[in-house]
Amino acid sequence: MQYPVSGLGFRPRPPAKSIESTLIWFNRGKAENWGHWVKELTNVTECELNWGHWVKELTNVTESYRFVDPNAGAQLTTCDYDKPANENQFCEFKIDELGGFCTKERRFGYEEGRPCIIVKLNKIYDWLPDFYPSVKDLPAHMPNAVKDIIAKDFAEPVTQNITRQNVWISCEGENPADIENIGLVNYYPHPGFPTYYYPFTNVQGYQTGVLINIECKAWARNIHHDRKERRGSVHFELMVD
């Protein structure tokens, strides 16, 4: 059976000379080392620090959500689980909900050795996720931490007939040593992409939901994981000296 390739991407990306790499490597105490990552996340073109690439990369992404295409007009609307966008509209993604820690003012955590990573679900035209209808439908291999969050969301529905349906996200180390070293992963604003962002119909000005967060997986019944083909997941390495 042929499935749409629901891939994930991540930011910040390595410098151009290492564009094929998936390693984020920096020394928390040396600005000249981690500045690339902060600059990648910040879009601060005047930043002259070498580690600014990483902040600029993340800023390029986050700042793009603060400026709406002037031609989009009334197509932009505020959505919720019980208030999806109408035809020819798209939902606003509120970048301020990513939390106070993962901001360009805080250097996206790189200066403190607590780096933020942005995970985005690739856009597939007219694709609608097959959401898990209940907790009992969750796959056995889904991480328990995510299952607990989903169970809580299902226990507290938006209305009697509307639950918080999401394409869920989990990020964890691939190997035992990785799991031990990565520690606690925090997700902002939530470990998933809400149902109201789908399907993607290429409306002018469309904003994809983003997630601040080395293997991350997207979870829906019609997202099939294949590590070799990188279906439904993204891999990156994070090294903090």
Torsion of CA 14, 192, 218, 61, to 10 degrees: -20
Domain count, the chain: 1
Indicate whether 3 belongs to any domain.
no
Q: When comparing pLDDT for 8 and 3, which is higher?
A: 8
Classify residue 37: in a domain, yes or no.
yes
pLDDT of residue 236: 72
DSSP assigned state of 86: P
- The pLDDT value recorded for residue 1 is 42
pLDDT at 238: 64
Nearest residue to 198 (alpha-carbon basis) of 217, 233, 223: 223
pLDDT in tens, 69-91: 555 555 778 888 888 888 778 78
Q: Using DSSP, state whether 174 is helix, strand or coil.
A: coil
Q: Residue 183 in contact with residue 208, Cβ under 8 Å? A: no
- Is there a domain that residue 161 lies in? yes
Tell me whether residue 57 is in a domain. Answer: yes
Residue 138 is predicted with a pLDDT of: 93
Dihedral angle, C-alpha 40, 99, 73, 121, nearest 10 °: 60
Q: How many CA atoms lie within 13 A of 66 on its CB side?
A: 11
Any domain includes 40? yes
- Residue 68 banded pLDDT, cuts 50, 70, 90: low
| Residue 120 domain flag | yes
The reported pLDDT for the residue numbered 49 is: 42
Q: Would residue 109 count as lying in a domain?
A: yes
For residue 59, the domain's CATH number is 2.60.40.1660
Positive or negative, the CA dihedral 57, 117, 21, 239 is: positive
d(CA 210, CA 116): 12
Q: Over the chain, what is the mean pLDDT? A: 74
What's residue 213's pLDDT? 40
- Average pLDDT of span 173-198: 81
Residue 1: inside a domain: no
Q: What digits encode the pLDDT tens for the residues 37-60?
A: 777 766 432 333 445 666 777 777
**Which distant-in-sequence residues (6+ apart) come within 8 Å of 64 by Cβ?**
none
Tens of pLDDT, residue by residue over 122-162, are 777 777 888 888 889 999 999 898 899 889 888 887 776 67
Confidence at 203, pLDDT banded by 50, 70, 90: low
* pLDDT over 60 at 107, yes or no: yes
What's the domain range around 37? Answer: 8-240
Strand ranges, E, within the chain: 8-11, 23-26, 76-77, 90-91, 118-121, 166-172, 192-194, 210-212, 215-219, 233-235, 237-240
